[in-house]
Amino acid sequence: MLQVSIYRYNPETDSEPYMQDVQVDTGGKDLMVLDVLELIKSQDTTVTYRRSCREGVCGSDGMNMNGKNGLACITPLSETVRNNKLVLRPLPGLPVVRDLVVDMSMFYAQYEKVQPFLMNDTPAPAIERLQSPEEREKLDGLYECILCACCSSACPSFWWNPDRFIGPSGLLQAYRFLADSRDTATEERLAKLDDPFSVFRCHGIQNCVNVCPKNLNPTRAIGHIRNMLLSRAT
Amino acid sequence: MVTAVTSMGRSGLYDWMMQRVSAVILLAYFIFVGCVLLNGVDYAAWKALYSQTWMRIFSLLALLSLGLHAWVGLWAVFTDYLTERLMGTTGNVLRFLAQAVSALIMFTYVVWGVQILWGL
Ligand code: SF4
Ligand code: SF4
Ligand code: FES
C-alpha cells in the first residue's frame, strides 16, 4: 500500500488547508502519479486536480510531488516515491483555487508581457516567410515549452516578485521570439526587458532547469537575453 | 508594488554590470592585500605601502566598490523580502528604512575610509 498525503483545500468549506492521508493499492505496478490520483478520485470524488492529455503534452497537471515540481502524468512512482511515501501539493507560490488546482493568472500575465507572437513590419510575402534550416534550429529548445508553470513556480525570484519578474517560462518565450529570424521587433522587445526586475531578478539558481519536464533550459535562454541586452548597450 | 526607484541605475543591466565590475575590483584588491600579508610585512613596510598614492587610490576604489556592491546586493535582498506583497504597507516602510540605514552605513564607511587612507 502506497502512503499518499494530499494537500486539500476547499475555500467554501475549509477555513484552512490540511493534508489528507490516503492509502493506495498500486497492485505493485510502477504507475504514474496521475494514475494514483485517478485511483484516489475513484474513491473520493471531491479530490480536485487538473489533467487533460495524460501524456505530458498539455501542461495541465503540474504539481509538487515529494517536494519537486513536475507533470503527474509522466512522473513514474519509481522516480519520486521514497520510503513508500508520496506527498502531493499544488505548485508553490501561486494562489490555490482548490486542492491541487492553482490560479495561474499571474503566470499568464507575465507570458502576455513578452508578446509571445511574431512581430514583423515588412510586407507579408505571397506564401510564407522563409527561414533557413540553421535559423530554424535556433528555436529548438525554446518552442517546446508547454506553459506548465513547473519552472516559474519553482523559482524563488518569481515567488517574491511574480508581478515584476517575468520568470523562467516567460523569459524562455521572450527569447524564443528574440531568436526568431522572422521577427523584426528585437529592439522593442529588448527595451521592455531592461528594467531591474523583468530579467535581472534571475540569480541563476537554476531551479527552473532542474524541474522542467520537457528538459528545457530557461537559465541558458536568460543568459542569451542578458548578452543581447549587453551588446545592445555597448 | 515594489518599484525600482531606489535601484542603482534604473536599468537592470546597469546594476548587473556594476555588480560584476565592483566584484572584480574587490577580488583583485583582496588578492593583492592577501599576497602582501602572506609574504609577511612589518609596520614600516605596511605604512610605506599605504603612503603611496596608487595604493590609496586602489584602496579607495575598493572601498567605493564595496559600497556599490553592497547597495546593489542589499537592494535586491530588500526588494525580495521586505515588500508590500509579503507584509502590506509595513513592507514599504521597512524597506525604505532598511535602505536608508544601509546607505548611511556605507556612506560612513567610505568617509571614514578616506580619513584613514589620507590620515586626515
Ligand atoms: S535560474 Fe533564474 S529563472 Fe531559473 S529558477 Fe533560478 S532565478 Fe529563477
Ligand atoms: S519551460 Fe519547461 S517547466 Fe517551464 S513552463 Fe515551459 S515546459 Fe513547463
Ligand atoms: S495531463 Fe497533460 S501534461 Fe499531464
| Contact list, A194 vs chain B (CB under 8 Å) | 11-13
Mean pLDDT of B13-40: 95
Q: Is the pLDDT of residue A92 over 80?
A: yes
Rounded to the nearest angstrom, the distance between the alpha carbon of B102 and the centre of ligand 3 is 48
The rounded mean pLDDT for chain A is: 97
**What average pLDDT score do residues B27-31 get?**
97
Of all residues in chain A, the percent with pLDDT exceeding 90 is 99
Q: Is the CB of A54 under 6 A from ligand 3?
A: yes
ipTM score assigned to the predicted complex: 0.84
**Nearest Cβ partner for A164 among B2, B11, B76:** B2
Distance of alpha carbon B20 from alpha carbon B5, whole angstroms: 21
pLDDT band at B36 (very low <50, low <70, confident <90, very high): very high
Nearest CB to A196 within list B1, B7, B83:
B7
Nearest ligand, CA A38: 3
**Residue A79, pLDDT score:** 96
Residues of A within 8 A of B23 (CB-CB) are none
* Residue B1 confidence class, pLDDT cut points 50, 70, 90: very low
Nearest to B13 by CA among A175, A156, A232: A232
Task: Find residues 25-84 of chain B whose CB sits inside 8 Å of chain A.
Answer: 76, 79-81, 83
Residue of chain B minimizing CA distance to A157: B80
Residues A132-188 pLDDT 10s: 999 999 999 999 999 999 999 999 999 999 999 999 999 999 999 999 999 999 999
8 Å CB contact of A196 and B85 = no
pLDDT given at position A13: 96
Nearest CA in chain A to B9: A196
* Assigned fold of B12-118: 3 helical TM bundles of succinate and fumarate reductases (1.20.1300)
Question: How far apart are the C-alpha atoms of A21 and A34, rounded to whole Å?
Answer: 17
Q: What is the 3-state secondary structure (H, E, C) of chain B?
A: CCCCCCCCCCCHHHHHHHHHHHHHHHHHHHHHHHHHHHCCCCHHHHHHHHCCHHHHHHHHHHHHHHHHHHHHHHHHHHHHHCCHHHHCHHHHHHHHHHHHHHHHHHHHHHHHHHHHHCCC
Q: Given a cut of 80, is residue A28 above it in pLDDT?
A: yes
Helices B53-81 and B89-117, axial angle in degrees (round to 10):
170
The residue to mutate among A61, A102, A169, having the most atoms of ligand 2 within 8 angstroms of its beta carbon, is A169
Q: What is the pLDDT of residues A46-86, one digit of tens each?
A: 999 999 999 999 999 999 999 999 999 999 999 999 999 99
Distance A121 CA to ligand 3 centre (A): 36
Helix (H) / strand (E) containing A5: strand A2-8
